[in-house]
Homo-oligomer: A and B are copies of this chain.
Amino acid sequence: MTASLPDLDTLTFKELVAQMVVVRTCGYLFDSQIPYPEWEANTATMQHLVELGIGGVIFLGGSAAELALRSQQMQSWAKIPLLIAADIEEGVGQRFPGGTWFAPPMAISQIARTNPQAEEYAAAMGAITAAEALAIGINWILAPVVDVNNNPDNPVINVRAFGETPAAVSPLANAFIKGAKAYPVLTAAKHFPGHGDTTTDSHVDLPVITHSPSRLAKIELAPFTSAIASGVDAVMSAHLLIECWDAKYPATLSAPILTGQLRDRLGFTGLIVTDALMMDAISKRYGANESPVLAVEAGADILLMPSDPEGAIDAVCEAVKNGRILPQRIRESVERIWQAKRQVEGVKIDPHKIALKLSQPESLQVVERILQQSQIVSGKLPLSPTPNGRNLIVVDNLLGSGKFLTEQSPAITVPKSLGYTTVLCDRHTPFAPKKETDNLPTLMQLFIRGNPFRGSSDLTQIGMNWFKKLSSSHNLQALVIYGSPYILEQLTPAMDSEIPCIFSYGQMPQAQTVALHVLFNV
C-alpha cells in the first residue's frame, strides 16, 4: 500500500529535513544476507529510518525479483512515498540480476562514430531501463553519466561515459534522458561539474581539477547544460575540488558551485543531489555530520548516503536552529522534492507480472545489436579451435566475478565444448606458469574495466605477465578483452597483427556469446 503525498505544511520541521535524506540499503530481504553490514542498515534500522520519514532509499545488491519485494516493503513502511534510487547506468541488469544488462555507455559512443542510429540505441537504453526500473519499484535512475571521459587513465568514469568529447556525450545522454522520460521515472545527470578528467578515484581520495572556468565551460559543463535542456530531473554533484571556483570545498559542499554555477548560472530548477556522502573524500575530511550541513548550505536538495542518517538530520536541524541555515533553504529543497515525487506518484507494481516486463526478447536484441556494432575485431578470423588448447581467463577478482563468470558462462562453456582446458587467474592466484604447459596454444580472455592497466593493481601485473609470456613463446592464439578499450589500445601495438583479437565493451554472458561467435564462427 503506497501512501500519497501530504501537504508540506502538515510536516514538522524535522520531517522536512528527513525528506532530504536518502539512505543506502541492500535489495536482499533477510538480514543474514547483508553483504556490507558496516554500511548497510539491517531491516529493523531501515524500518525505523523509513518510519522516521527519510525521503528515499538507494538500493545496492539483490536480484531484480528481490528488489520488487524489497521496494514494496520499504514503501509499505513509509507515510510519505519514497524515492527509490539505484545506480543503474547500464540497465537494471547491471545491478540486479534478471533485468536487461546493457554494455557501458561508451559502447554506444563507439557506434556513434560511424552510425547515427547510435542515438536510437541510447534512447532505447533509457526507455528499457526506465520500464524495468518501474516494474520493480525503482523510481529514480541515477543516470546518465554525462562526464566527458577525456582522460584514458580515469579510474572511475572510464567506459561509464557516453564519450570522450562533449559533442559525443551530449546527444547520447540527451537521447537516454528522453527515452527514460517517456516513463514516470526520475533521472540524474552526473557528476557535476564533470568527473572525466581526473586520474584519482573519489571513492579513495579527493581529486583536484585545476582547469580554468573557460575550459570547464567548453568541455565539462556542455553536457550538463544540454541534459538540463533535455529535462533531466536531477544533477548529482562530484566529490572534486574545482580550484578556480572554490579552493576550499569540493563541489558537493560548495555554494559557489552548486548554487552559484548550477542553480544560478545554468538555471537548473530540479533536484541537486550529492554523490554518496559516506565516501572518505567527504566524510573523513569534513566530518560525518558536518558534511551534510555543508551540503545543504551549498545548495543540495538531497543528501545521498550520509554515514549516519539520523545524525545528519539532527545536525541539519541544529544548523537551522542556530541560524546557520535559513528555514527557507530547507523549504525550497522539500518543495523541489515534492515536485519530483509528484511525477512518480501512483505507480503500482505487481510482483507477479514482472516476469513479463524484464529482459524481454526485444530488449535483449537491442543489447545484442549494441554489442555487435561496438565490438572491435582484428586479425585472421575465424580461429580454428586447437584440440587441447588452453582457455586462460584473467579477471580482477574471482571472488567477485559471479555476475559475469560462472561454470555456465559462454567464456567457459564455448571453448570447453571445443576441447579447451579452463585456467583461471586473478589477483589471488600467483603468476606461475609451469614448464610442462609452456607450449599450450592459448586463448586469453581478459575481463578488465575501470582499472588503468598501467596502474599498480595486481591484475595489471598478472595479466601483463601472461600476455608477455604468451606473446614471446608464440602461444597467444587469440586475445579477447571484455571491458576497457584503453587496454586494447595498450596491448595491440605489441601483437602480431594476424593474431585474432576481439574487444567487447560488455562483460556479461551475452557479450561473451557475441565475441566468441565471431572468434570461432560458432
A residues with a Cβ closer than 8 A to B are 28-33, 35-36, 43, 62-66, 68-70, 72-73, 76, 93, 97-99, 351-352, 354-355, 358-359, 364, 397-400, 402, 405-409, 412, 422-426, 428-430, 432-434, 437
Contact = CB atoms under 8 A, between A and B. Distances in A.
Contacts of A97: 33
A355 B69 CA distance: 10
B428 A424 contact: yes
Contacts of A402: 402, 406
Contact of A29 (B36, B65, B398, B422): B65
Nearest to A406: B399
A430 B423 contact: yes
A29, A66, A429 interface centre (most CB from chain B within 10 Å): A29
B72 A352 contact: yes
A407 B98 CA distance: 22
15 contacts: A29-B65, A29-B358, A31-B359, A33-B97, A65-B69, A66-B66, A69-B69, A69-B352, A73-B355, A398-B398, A399-B412, A402-B406, A422-B428, A423-B429, A432-B433
Contact of A30 (B355, B399, B434): B355
A98 B69 CA distance: 13
B63 A32 contact: no
A9 to B, nearest CB: 32
A30 B64 contact: yes
B429 A424 contact: yes
Nearest to A436: B430
Contacts of A412: 399
A32 B362 CA distance: 12
Contacts of A406: 35, 399-400, 402
Nearest to A357: B30
B430 A437 contact: yes
A407 B400 CA distance: 7
Given A98-B30, A352-B76, A430-B437, A35 B408 contact: yes
Given A66-B66, A351-B69, A408 B32 contact: no
Given A43-B355, A351-B351, 9 more contacts: A29-B358, A32-B93, A63-B66, A65-B69, A73-B355, A424-B428, A424-B429, A425-B429, A432-B434
Contacts of A398: 398, 424
Nearest to A426: B424
Contacts of A29: 64-65, 98, 354-355, 358
A35 B69 CA distance: 22
Contacts of A32: 93, 98, 359, 364
Contact of A430 (B352, B400, B434): B434
B428 A430 contact: no
Q: Which of A43, A63, A359 has the most CB of B within 10 A?
A: A63
Nearest to A422: B428
B28 A65 contact: yes
Contacts of A434: 430, 432
Contacts of A428: 422-424
A428 B97 CA distance: 26
Given A399-B405, A425-B429, A98 B359 contact: no
Nearest to A433: B432
A430 B408 CA distance: 21
A30 B67 CA distance: 14
Q: What are the 9 tightest A-B residue pairs by CB atom distance, in nearest-first order? A: A432-B432, A32-B359, A424-B428, A402-B402, A29-B65, A30-B98, A65-B66, A399-B407, A29-B355
A138 to B, nearest CB: 16
Contacts of A354: 29
Contacts of A358: 29-30
Nearest to A412: B399
A358 B43 CA distance: 13
A507 to B, nearest CB: 15
Nearest to A101: B32
